[in-house]
Amino acid sequence: MVERQKQIGRDRVSRLVSWGHWFAFYNGLLAIIVGYRYLDTVGFPESIVGWSYLALSTIGHFSFLAFMVYLVLIFPITLLLPYSKILRGYAAVVATLSLCMLLYDTIIYDDYGLHLSPFVFDLAWADLNGLLQGTSYIITPIGILAIELTLANYLWKRIEKIRKRNYGNKVVGVVGLCFIASHLIHIWGDAADVTEITQFDDAYPLSYPATARSFMESYGIENTHEDQGQTRPKTSLKYPLSPMQCMADDKPNILFIAIDSLQAKLVDNKTMPFLTTYANNNQSFQKHLSGGNQFSSGMFSLLYGLQGSYMNAIDLHYESPVLTQELAASGYQLGLFTSVDTLARPQAIFDDFERVDSHYDDSYASSDIRSVENWQTWTQASTQPWFTLLNLKSPDSYDTPIGFLGVKTVKADKSLKSAEKVLFNQYRQSLNFIDSQLKKILTDLPDNTLVVITGVSGKVFTSNPTEARVNLSPDNVQVPMVIHWPKQSAHKRINYRTTHNALVPTLMTQVLGCTNPTADFSAGSSLMQPSDRTWVYTGDNRIFAIYQQSEITTIDRHGKYRIYDREYKKRLRKKMSAPELIEVMREGRRFYIH
């Protein structure tokens, strides 16, 4: 008798477990329906490859999320309280809360571009009235609960028929295959930089697609997107917001020198005497911040004038910067002079340039010398007004030419480690070499040449690329910004805070005569006047920092944040400033079509 009761109990638990699995599966399908809202924000693929990946990824990911909710919150209750009525009601409530949370996440993602996390929840709570409008946030949970209760009872009444048909293994096999296949496809898509795959990397919550970029590149699978004939997707980004109205009267030549890894505080009389004197005789911005701490994010902010959250926008892989478009339309000849291995995002960033690459043979210093020679030859042969972007790269790798005799070694800061002190002095040698190249370039320029000299990003002394990528300290983002206006001898030191995003509005208004509001095409305002914003965004869409008056807040793509003092020396135990961060998130979605 006792054995029979145990058997009945085991059968009941087995039936409940089977019911729970099917309940989780159908909730995965409901989650897919709710998750469709993410695609309205991200955009849809156009190719068969993109749609195939999206279908596999969506089925695998949301089925996995639904099963995790079941495994963590429902399965233990099945063993503790194996009573169908209790379990069905409890499971319906859990599923309702989970779907409501997913629905709320779609709203937040559409508005902020981030998924729910403690940081984002605090932010959204302060902005609740702006996010939730009308009475749908009351009616919708009631409707979802009704659907869940109906589904729970429907499955319970038919669970025996479903079990007899033995569909379970087939469903698990299909879902498992979708999950594994989507990650394998993403490994290839990430290594080959197939944007119709990688654009969905951050679209779904708790999504961590597998990558193997270095492994795939070692086998020569790289940049295959260029040969795949991808079609441009339907536009989800409106850039610029209104047609540009520009009429350039005077057309000076424009020399734009962008130096990789140029730390502002090391531009001094001992290390870079020529640039220091040149800055003192021209317009010099003393508190200038790059738009990022890496080449891609820094260059993106310089040419697009947008904050780094737009850097991976699929539309911009097909849309060159408005600045270079208008320069070309005004009759400028555009030339890019850099190393042959220079890659940047988005893919269209250099589309308007005639690219003149110098061969890289294990020495960026030698490559920089050739870039300068190529620039001199090209500009002397040009018969039109020109806009040239000269990218010098030596400081990023601490490189100098063989036999170069630079500056004397000095005592490094005590806060640096032993290895960092060696890098510090080698970095100074590289800067001194760049200073000699600047002297060669700027000594004999035509009078009608506008010159812009800046760093793409700053520099921290480490050989660890991961450490450099996540470091958003002033050393890594504060750079010089020097502008020489043709036929003007006035020099001025600007002491208000400026950013790379402001260069595009400056050139568009001062040189090209554009009359559009700067908000139509940029996240910045002109360098010629202080910004009315109390914050500066620097970084990309994966990790970024918000520089405010007295603190720096760093945030990663999962919403984990830390707050530091203005020198980035001390971590502060305080809450974030919600109003400014809400402005940041809104700016990061402003150019998207809703």
Superfamily of domain 253-533: Alkaline Phosphatase, subunit A (3.40.720.10)
Residue 129 pLDDT grade (very low, low, confident, very high; cuts 50, 70, 90) = low
The pLDDT of residue 216 is above 60: no
Give the pLDDT of residue 276: 96
Give the pLDDT of residue 354: 96
Give the pLDDT of residue 103: 92
Please state the rounded mean pLDDT for residues 447-453. 95
The pLDDT of residue 500 is above 90: yes
The pLDDT of residue 270 is above 90: yes
Domain ranges of the chain: 2-227, 253-533
CA dihedral sign of residues 492, 496, 497, 501: negative
Mean pLDDT of the chain: 88
Give the pLDDT of residue 196: 79
Give the pLDDT of residue 219: 44
CA dihedral sign of residues 61, 66, 72, 76: negative
Torsion of CA 565, 571, 575, 576, to 10 degrees: 50
Pair type for strands 536-539 and 333-339: unpaired
Lowest mean pLDDT: which of 6-15, 67-76, 365-374? 6-15
Residue 320 pLDDT grade (very low, low, confident, very high; cuts 50, 70, 90) = very high
Residue 229 pLDDT grade (very low, low, confident, very high; cuts 50, 70, 90) = very low
Distance of CA 547 to the CA centre of its chain: 17
Q: State the alpha helices, DSSP H only, in 443-532.
A: 465-470, 474-477, 503-510
Read off the DSSP letter of residue 70. Answer: I
d(CA 193, CA 201): 12
* Helices 84-112 + 136-164 axis angle, to 10: 130
CA dihedral sign of residues 219, 220, 222, 227: negative
d(CA 260, CA 363): 14
d(CA 495, CA 502): 15
The pLDDT of residue 135 is above 70: no
Burial bucket for residue 128 (CB in 10 Å: 0-12, 13-18, 19+): exposed
Cis peptide bond prior to 474, omega within 30° of 0: no
Q: Write the pLDDT tens digit of every residue in 168-208.
A: 888 999 999 999 999 999 998 888 778 778 878 888 988 88
**143 in helix, strand or coil?**
helix
The pLDDT of residue 358 is above 70: yes
- How many Cβ atoms from other residues are within 10 Å of residue 553's Cβ? 23
Please state the rounded mean pLDDT for residues 526-541. 92
The pLDDT of residue 231 is above 70: no
Burial bucket for residue 571 (CB in 10 Å: 0-12, 13-18, 19+): exposed
CB 414 within 8 A of CB 399: no
Lowest mean pLDDT: which of 60-69, 165-174, 207-216, 561-570? 207-216
The pLDDT of residue 218 is above 50: no
Q: Write the pLDDT tens digit of every residue in 95-104.
A: 999 999 999 8
Please state the rounded mean pLDDT for residues 65-82. 92
Give the pLDDT of residue 133: 64
d(CA 103, CA 140): 10
Give the residue among 118, 465, 104, 531 at the shortest CA–CA distance from 307. Answer: 531
Please state the rounded mean pLDDT for residues 277-306. 96
Sequence-distant (≥ 6) Cβ neighbours of residue 138 within 8 angstroms = none
Residue 232 pLDDT grade (very low, low, confident, very high; cuts 50, 70, 90) = low
pTM for the whole structure: 0.79
**Would you report the helix, strand and coil content of the chain in percent, each value rounded to 5?**
50, 15, 35
Higher pLDDT, 46 or 301: 301
Pair type for strands 492-499 and 386-392: unpaired
